[in-house]
């Protein structure tokens, strides 16, 4: 974070202040994730994966994924 702040000419202490305020606000207002059911065709390979892209980030999700872990990852991506 320090390198990014230097690059963007932002005071690191200010950045940490606003990050703490945002984290506190986020903790006080938990958001829920809505799950969408996806039906698949007969040619679906049970060993294949999907890729979820959010801005410049991407997450590969395999069929045996831990749903709670996936939910946590998506929540973190939404907060970035």
Q: What percent of the chain has pLDDT over 90?
A: 0
Q: pLDDT tens digit string along 27-46?
A: 666 556 667 676 666 555 66
Pair 39, 50: CB distance under 8 Å: no
**What is the rounded average pLDDT for all residues in the chain?**
77
For 80, the 3-state DSSP assignment is coil
pTM over 0.85: no
CB atoms within 10 A of CB 62: 10
Distances in whole angstroms, Cα of residue 60 to Cα of each of 2, 12, 47, 69, 78: 28, 32, 12, 13, 16
């Amino acid at each position: 974070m320090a390198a990014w702040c230097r690059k963007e000419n932002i005071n690191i202490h200010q950045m940490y202040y606003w990050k703490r305020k945002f984290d506190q606000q986020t903790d006080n207002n938990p958001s829920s994730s809505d799950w969408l059911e996806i039906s698949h065709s007969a040619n679906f390979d049970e060993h294949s994966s999907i890729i979820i892209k959010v801005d410049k980030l991407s997450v590969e999700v395999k069929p045996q994924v831990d749903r709670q872990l996936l939910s946590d990852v998506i929540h973190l991506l939404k907060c970035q």
